[in-house]
Amino acid sequence: MVEKQLIPIQQTGYFSRLICNYLEQKEDVKQFYHNFSDLNGFEQQIKERQKHEEQLNRKVLVSELAQQYKDLVLTKATAQNISALKQSTTFTVTTGHQLNLFTGPLYFLYKIISTINTCKILKQSFPKYDFVPIYWMATEDHDFDEIRYFNYKNNKITWRRDAQGAVGDLNGKELNKVFDEFSDLLGPSSRANDLRTLFNEAYLKHNSLSAATRFLANKLFGSEGLVILDGHSAGLKREFIEYMKTDLLQHSCFEKVNETNAALQSKYNIQVNPREINLFYLDDQLRERIVFDQGRYQVLNSEISFD
């Protein structure tokens, strides 16, 4: 018989005092969050979200998802969840992660599994509503060094190439050498052949890392109804225009985060140091921050500027 021992998160030594105090719902951190992530908090969040239903453009979301899934075979569970997003009684639980090669670190999987399980618990607790697990792919991320490898049996298998711009645009068909290295380590078992097939279908048959990761996540979690969303979409970004304008022209996020930091720093270490502008200029082989300098907006490491 396997003996199981549960260790409180606070005793693992992996989490900051701020996180531990949040989990214990201590009074000195309550001002920094709205609803705590327990069933009562989710219930309150549902009620508040319903008040803003008229601000949501569900039609655009469903249309964009249909476009993004056009080259994939949808599972019945995922198709039902996408359709459910049309209804005002449907809510989403979202996780996001980088496009790590062949899932990369284990928490890529844990985050998605936790999101799926949260939706199941919420459905049991609030049966008149539907809850859809969303995996938001960080396709516009530029930190290629963080995602270019995965580990297998103490071997670090690395995609060796230079990369600029958004990682989601990288061509997965370039991964033949990675596949060969991985395949040699796998051995002859049937399970090894399953992994070879999965890697081949995900990466060597898709033109972008975005498409490859969507295929892989759908293959692993489509039966659980996971909905995979790529924010690198003009249609979705149009829904975000007013927020981008506010950040660009008024630096609203910079001011709010600084206010929070001022309140936090008397007892805790500062977690985030904000920038005045939190937007990037994105083009082929270019993903650079926008800064405001001497009356003009500049795109770093480029000749691009505008008033």
The tens digit of pLDDT for each residue in 27-72 reads 999 999 999 999 999 999 999 999 999 888 999 999 999 999 999 9
pLDDT along the chain (307 residues), means of 10: 88 92 94 94 96 92 96 96 98 98 95 98 98 97 95 95 91 93 95 97 96 97 98 94 94 92 91 91 90 94 94
Q: What amino acid occupies position 150?
A: F
Please give the model's pTM, rounded to 2 decimal places: 0.93
The residues, any chain, with a CB within 8 Å of residue 302's CB and separated by 6 or more, are 281, 286, 288
Kindly state the greatest CA–CA separation across the chain: 70
- Taking the CA atoms of residue 65, residue 236, residue 239 and residue 272 in that order, the dihedral angle to the nearest 10 degrees is 120
- Cβ atoms of residues 55 and 93 within 8 Å: no
Strands 286-293 and 280-283 turn out to be antiparallel
The tens digit of pLDDT for each residue in 168-207 reads 999 988 999 999 999 999 999 999 999 999 999 999 999 9
> DSSP per residue over 116-160, as a string?
HHHHHHHHHHSTTSEEEEEEEE-TT---HHHHSEEEETTEEEE--
d(CA 286, CA 293): 20
